[in-house]
A and B are shown apart, each in its own frame.
Chain A
Amino acid sequence: MNTVSIVNRGQLSLKQRESILGWVLILPAAIIIFSLILYPIFYNIYLSFFDVNLEGGNTYLGLDNYISVLLDASFWQSVLTTVIFVVFTTLGTTILGIGVALVMNKEFPLRGLVRSLILLPYVAPVISVVYSWRFIFDPVNGIFMDITMEKLGLFTERFNLIEQPQAAIWVAIIFSIWKGFPFSYLMILSRLQAIDGTLYEAAEIDGASAWQKFKRITIPEIYFVVGSIVLLRLIWNFNKFEEIFLLTDNVRVLSIYTYFKAFTGSMEMGQGASLAVIQFLLLIGFILFYVKRVLKW
Chain B
Amino acid sequence: MVKKRSLLRRIGFVLIILIIVSFSVFPFVQMLSTSLKYQWDWGNPSLIPTQINLEAYKELLNIGQDEKNLPESIKMLLDESPELTKAQKKAIIDKYKDTGSVFPFMTFLRNSMGFALTASFISLIIAILGAYSFSRLAYPGRAVMQRGVLFVYMLGGVVLLIPLYKLFVNMGMLVTESGTFASLIIIYMVQTLPVSLYMLGNYFRTIPFSIEEAAMIEGASRFSTIWRIIVPLSFSAIVTVFVYSFMIAWNEYLFASVFLRGWDSLQTLPIGLRQLFLSKNAIWDRIMAASMLTAIPVIAMFMLIQKNLVGGLSEGGVKE
User: Which residues of A does B touch, CB under 8 Å?
Assistant: 15, 18-26, 28-30, 32-34, 36-37, 39-41, 43-44, 47, 52, 54, 100, 103, 106, 108, 114, 116-121, 123-129, 131-136, 138, 140-141, 143, 146-147, 178, 180, 182-183, 186-187, 190-191, 232, 235-236, 238-242, 245-246, 254-255, 258-259, 262-263, 269, 272-273, 276, 279-280, 283
Contacts and interface: CB of A to CB of B under 8 A. Distances in A.
A58 B273 CA distance: 36
A170 to B, nearest CB: 16
B167 A43 contact: yes
Nearest to A133: B27
Interface in B162-221: 162-164, 166-167, 169, 186-187, 189-190, 193-194, 197
A125 B299 CA distance: 9
Contacts of A37: 151-152, 155, 160, 190
A30 B197 CA distance: 11
A245 B161 CA distance: 15
- 4 smallest CB-CB distances across A and B, nearest first, come from A239-B156, A19-B139, A22-B137, A40-B163
B24 A121 contact: yes
A127 B155 contact: no
B132 interface: yes
A36 B190 contact: yes
Contacts of A108: 13, 17
Nearest to A113: B21
A188 to B, nearest CB: 10
Nearest to B277: A131
A161 B169 CA distance: 39
A259 B253 CA distance: 13
A125 B28 contact: no
B156 A255 contact: yes
A279 B158 contact: yes
B302 A123 contact: yes
Given A32-B186, A241-B157, A263-B258, A129 B27 contact: yes
Question: Main SS of chain A's interface residues?
Answer: helix
B162 A129 contact: no
A47 B162 contact: yes
Contact of B162 (A131, A178, A232, A269): A269
B274 interface: yes
Given A136-B30, A236-B153, 13 more contacts: A47-B163, A47-B166, A103-B17, A106-B13, A120-B299, A124-B28, A128-B31, A132-B28, A183-B313, A238-B156, A246-B274, A255-B157, A259-B254
Interface residues of B, number: 85
A133 B299 CA distance: 18
Given A19-B137, A21-B133, A120-B28, A103 B162 contact: no
Nearest to B194: A33
A44 B132 contact: no
B288 to A, nearest CB: 7
15 contacts: A25-B130, A25-B137, A33-B193, A44-B159, A118-B20, A120-B24, A120-B25, A123-B302, A125-B250, A125-B294, A127-B253, A129-B31, A132-B34, A276-B159, A280-B159
Interface of B: 13, 16-17, 20-21, 23-25, 27-28, 30-31, 34, 42-43, 45, 126-127, 129-130, 132-134, 137-142, 145, 148-149, 151-164, 166-167, 169, 186-187, 189-190, 193-194, 197, 222, 247, 250-251, 253-254, 258, 269-270, 273-274, 277, 284, 287-288, 291-292, 294-295, 298-299, 302-303, 306, 310, 313-314, 318, 320
Residue among B126, B186, B254 with the highest chain A CB neighbour number at 10 A? B126
A108 B16 CA distance: 12
A44 B145 contact: no
Given A263-B258, A269-B166, A143 B30 contact: yes
Nearest to A125: B251
